[in-house]
Every structure is written in C-alpha cells, then in structure tokens.
Amino acid sequence: MKVFRFERGEWAVTGHGSTGLHATRLATGEGPLHLTCLSVGPGGVIGTHPAPVPQMFLVIAGEGWIARPDGNRVRIAAGEGVRWEQGEDHTSGTDVGFTALAIEGASIELFEPMAVPNPAAPDAR
C-alpha cells in the first residue's frame, strides 16, 4: 500500500486563458486514458478549449460553473459531473474555488442509472 497526496498542484496551467488552475497527474492507462486532479482557486477559470478525447469532469470539492461557447453557464458542485464529447468546446470557472477529477479517454462510458442528469443543465440526458 502507498498513501499519497493528490492536491499538490504539480503545475500551473495557463493555456487557453486559464487562470488560478493547477493540475496534478494521477494515472494513465491504455487507450490512452488519463486521470488528472484539477484545483481552481477562487475567481479561477479553465479557458475555453475543445475536449481532445471524451472527457469526464467530476467535482469533488467546492462549486463552480461549466459553459459551452455560447456562454450559457450551468452551476456544478461537489458530487456532480459532466461529460464532454471529443471536440466539444467548453469552459469552467468558479467564484469560490473547486477541485475536480478529469478523466480523459476514448473508452469512457457513464454507468446508468447512477449517472443522474443535473436538472439545471440545458440538455441534460
């Protein structure tokens, strides 16, 4: 067994106009598959960018918002997540700060019925 910390923020991310964002790589796998811990400070933004592959974004602490290029924001908080398809442009941000796990990989699938849509999302499935 090995105990480790994953909120350490290995590097600051400033691409795509991001501010207040720190990332820590946690795991990788076949497919490829990547797991990253993202910490966004109060007032921080993950700038608009396309998902390079299917992506799940799981907020584990704090709260913020997610948006598409049209600017419509949807609130998201600890215990909620979103999936973006490959090529889908998106932005995230927060007034108070949040920590999220980003899982990226071509073979990501949501399990049903545990994946319950956020009723505030414009096209929740």
Residue 11 has pLDDT above 50, yes or no: yes
- In this prediction, residue 124 has a pLDDT band, given cuts at 50, 70 and 90, of very low
Domains of the chain, start order: 23-105 (2.60.120.10)
Residue 8 has pLDDT above 80, yes or no: no
Amino acid making up residue 87:
G
3-state SS, residue 124: coil
Both tokens of 56, joined, read 């799940």
For the segment 31-51, the average pLDDT, to the nearest whole number, is 94
Record the pTM: 0.84
Backbone torsions φ then ψ of 113, nearest 5 degrees: -90, 10
Residue 125 has pLDDT above 50, yes or no: no
Q: What is residue 123's predicted lDDT score, i.e. its pLDDT?
A: 54
Select from 42, 84, 43 the least CA-distant residue to 67.
84
Residue 110 has pLDDT above 90, yes or no: no
